[in-house]
Amino acid sequence: MQTQTVDIRNKVVEEDKPWKDFMRSFLRHRSAVIGSVIILFLILIAIIAPVLTPFEYSAKSNDLMQSPSANHWFGTDEMGRDIFTRVIYGARISLWVGFFAVIGSIVLGSLLGLIAGFFGGWRDAVISRIFDILLAFPGILLAIAMVTILGPGINNAMIAIAIINIPTFGRLMRSSVLRIKEEDYVLAAKAMGMKNGRILFHHILPNCWTPIMVQGTLSFATAVIEAAALGFLGLGAQPPEPEWGTMLADSRPFIQTAPWTMIFPGLAIVLTVLGFNLLGDGLRDIFDPRMKQ
């Protein structure tokens, strides 16, 4: 009985070891930690936005174009709206757009990549040609065309951003599946008569998540930039929604007379992109076996 208890404890320790190794490597990686702190900070201020400011993001006042002060930390815009409030609430929109777009592109791209890589043949040819067509156009131009067809709005912008990022995850998943499906344990599962669905979701997919997770973190930063670009062109969030790209577009006429109207939304975009890029680079280094030397 004592021997069985020791074996069980050793098994639990072995199962926990990968998670502990990951956390140990993560905490030692400065870029990953800094990126995580920035992201958690942005998520926190997005959640408690109503507590941080006494103003409504769409509330107008007579304090037009005031420079930063004790009453208005980031100043006010041409309509007297508090810029600090609008930047804080803008974090909600940008984070939601990035989350929706990345999750959507991961789900659709990974599913198509799984089918193409595992089954091959005409399925692989058709899906790969779809990826090639989407990649033939610059991403932002394709997003502009889609939003123009669907109509301006934050929801259509999220859909467009998700679609243009599908090939990135699809091709990454396909290449991983092509490599993993030749492994001995997958070939053994096929020889035992295991169904394709079980092989895909129990043997192949769990071993493909590492590059997808790293790319998803980096794509989050790209999605924020693309959402800001669409907002800057008037195709994203519509007034009075406090989206950072829209705020930059509205502040263009006042870049010399009231530069604070452009500086703070721009810094918010830079901080968000920096946080996700640092986290993505950190995860890439942690999961890369060549970096463990």
CB atoms within 10 A of CB 221: 22
pLDDT at 5 (0 to 100): 45
d(CA 271, CA 264): 10
Radius of gyration of the chain (CA): 23
In the numeric block, which tokens belong to residue 248?
Answer: 């930059």
Backbone angles phi, psi at 108, to 5 degrees: -70, -45
Q: What is the mean pLDDT of residues 6-31?
A: 64
Q: Which residue has the tokens 């208005």?
A: 72
pLDDT at 88 (0 to 100): 93
pLDDT at 8 (0 to 100): 42
Q: Is the peptide bond before 240 cis (omega within 30 degrees of 0)?
A: yes
Q: What is the mean pLDDT of residues 261-289?
A: 88
Q: What is the mean pLDDT of residues 20-28?
A: 78
d(CA 216, CA 128): 20
pLDDT at 30 (0 to 100): 86
Q: What is the mean pLDDT of residues 207-223?
A: 88
Which residues have C-beta within 8 Å of that of residue 291, sequence separation ≥ 6?
285
Does the pLDDT of residue 271 top 70, yes or no? yes
In the numeric block, which tokens belong to residue 198?
Answer: 């079980």
Does the pLDDT of residue 6 top 50, yes or no? no
d(CA 261, CA 271): 17
pLDDT tens-digit readout, 80-130:
899 999 999 999 998 998 899 999 999 999 999 999 988 888 999 999 999
Q: What is the mean pLDDT of residues 272-289?
A: 85
CATH of 41-53+73-292, one of 3.10.20.600, 1.10.3720.10, 1.10.10.10, 3.10.580.10: 1.10.3720.10
Check: CB of residue 226 under 8 Å from CB of residue 285.
no
Categorize the per-residue pLDDT at 28 as very low, low, confident or very high, splitting at 50, 70 and 90: confident
Q: Is 247 exposed, middle or buried (0-12, 13-18, 19+ CB in 10 A)?
A: buried
Check: CB of residue 22 under 8 Å from CB of residue 286.
yes
Report percent pLDDT > 90 for the chain.
35
Categorize the per-residue pLDDT at 206 as very low, low, confident or very high, splitting at 50, 70 and 90: confident
Check: CB of residue 69 under 8 Å from CB of residue 129.
no
Q: What string of H, E and C letters represents the secondary structure of the chain?
A: CHHHHHHHHHHHHHHHHHHHHHHHHHHHCHHHHHHHHHHHHHHHHHHCHHHHCCCCCCCCCCCCCCCCCCCCCCCECCCCCEHHHHHHHHHHHHHHHHHHHHHHHHHHHHHHHHHHHHHCHHHHHHHHHHHHHHHCCCHHHHHHHHHHHHCCCHHHHHHHHHHHCHHHHHHHHHHHHHHHCCCHHHHHHHHCCCCHHHHHHHHHHHHCHHHHHHHHHHHHHHHHHHHHHHHHCCCCCCCCCCCHHHHHHHCHHHCCCCCHHHHHHHHHHHHHHHHHHHHHHHHHHHHCHHHHC
Does the pLDDT of residue 285 top 90, yes or no? no
Parse the chain into domains and list their residue ranges: 41-53+73-292
Does the pLDDT of residue 288 top 80, yes or no? no
